[in-house]
Amino acid sequence: MIDVSEYRIPAGTKVVLADHDADDKTGFEGGKKKGKKALSRLNKQIAELQRRLWAESRQGLLVVIQAIDTGGKDSTIRKVFTGVNPQGVRVASFGVPSEIELSHDYLWRVHKETPPDGYIKIFNRSHYEDVLVVRVKRLAPEETWSRRYQHIREFERMLADEGTTVLKLFLNISKDEQRQRLQDRLNEPDKHWKFNKADLADRELWDHYQRAFEDALSETSTDYAPWYVVPANRKWYRNLVVSSILIETMEKMDPQYPKPEEGLDDVVVT
């Protein structure tokens, strides 16, 4: 397991992404090959912790994943949750809001998706889009999105108070890494389906997105719902960091198997 404390953003920190090396791999001695072996051990630990969470059924875990396009949200989910019981893990993906969603407040569609007791819920994008894409693409005026940091802090406080552990991951890739990943999607026919011309327009807005991410991370990393900036240029290292954060968090949640009924020792199945 990797010591992930240095990737955690303490409450009140002013985040400068240029200070976070997307290529970092200093937390693991060894390269890709050893890293992949280590991941399969962490997969097993996550599966065991999830089994306990499911059996206990008294608290939920919400994992928010945000990144720039090609940042690796989907593959992180695939690789980190390999081997868990699918019954207790759910993914919610948040795309462009529907007409009905837009007719409500922006947290409406999000709150409906938070995890019930016993579940891990993964948010592939989230309410943070409402201070990211909405800001960068000017879908709402500053007056509107700038108030949302406080709503979000309070919303997450409420979730935490009511028994949901909230964990937020920003997958940090560099601009050059994004170029390579977009180019791969063009070069490899079985990745064409992932290529979206609109992603090029978003790439033009790279600096705007970085500023919006910095503000979101600075404004909403709290003790009860911390952000982690995950170095994500190297996929194998990213997977180890995310897995380690999950294990650390779930160990703190400390889910317990329910006490068995009394007198089971004497029971014989005939």
Question: For binding to Mg ion (CB under 5 A), which residues are involved?
Answer: 69
* Nearest approach, Cβ of residue 133 and Mg ion (Å): 10
* Nearest approach, Cβ of residue 99 and Mg ion (Å): 21
Q: How far apart are CA 265 and CA 251, in angstroms?
A: 29
Residue 174: strand, helix, or coil: coil
State phi, psi for 6 to the nearest 5 degrees: -75, -15
Closer by beta carbon to ligand AMP, 25 or else 181: 181
- Residue 30 is encoded by which pair of tokens? 């060894």
Q: How far apart are CA 134 and CA 130, in angstroms?
A: 5
Residue 240 binds: one of ligand AMP, Mg ion, none (C-beta under 5 to 8 A by kind):
none
Report which of 205, 229, 238 is spatially closest to residue 132, judged by C-alpha positions. Answer: 205
* Nearest approach, Cβ of residue 214 and Mg ion (Å): 21
* Nearest approach, Cβ of residue 102 and ligand AMP (Å): 8
**Residue with nearest beta carbon to ligand AMP:** 129
Question: By the 8 A CB rule, do 137 and 79 touch?
Answer: no
Residue 129 binds: one of ligand AMP, Mg ion, none (C-beta under 5 to 8 A by kind):
ligand AMP
Q: How far apart are CA 252 and CA 204, in angstroms?
A: 41
Closer by beta carbon to Mg ion, 69 or else 130: 69
Residue 133 binds: one of Mg ion, ligand AMP, none (C-beta under 5 to 8 A by kind):
ligand AMP
Closer by beta carbon to ligand AMP, 198 or else 264: 198
* Nearest approach, Cβ of residue 95 and ligand AMP (Å): 4
For the CA atoms of 142, 168, 218, 241, the dihedral, rounded to the nearest 10 degrees, stands at: -140
Strand partners, 120: 61, 89
Closer by beta carbon to ligand AMP, 17 or else 133: 133
Closer by beta carbon to ligand AMP, 125 or else 157: 125
Question: By the 8 A CB rule, do 154 and 213 touch?
Answer: no
Which residues of this protein are in contact with ligand AMP, per CB under 6 A?
94-97, 125, 129-130, 133-134, 139
Residue 94 binds: one of ligand AMP, Mg ion, none (C-beta under 5 to 8 A by kind):
ligand AMP
Q: How far apart are CA 152 and CA 165, in angstroms?
A: 15
Closer by beta carbon to ligand AMP, 47 or else 205: 205
* Nearest approach, Cβ of residue 191 and Mg ion (Å): 13
Q: How far apart are CA 228 and CA 217, in angstroms?
A: 9
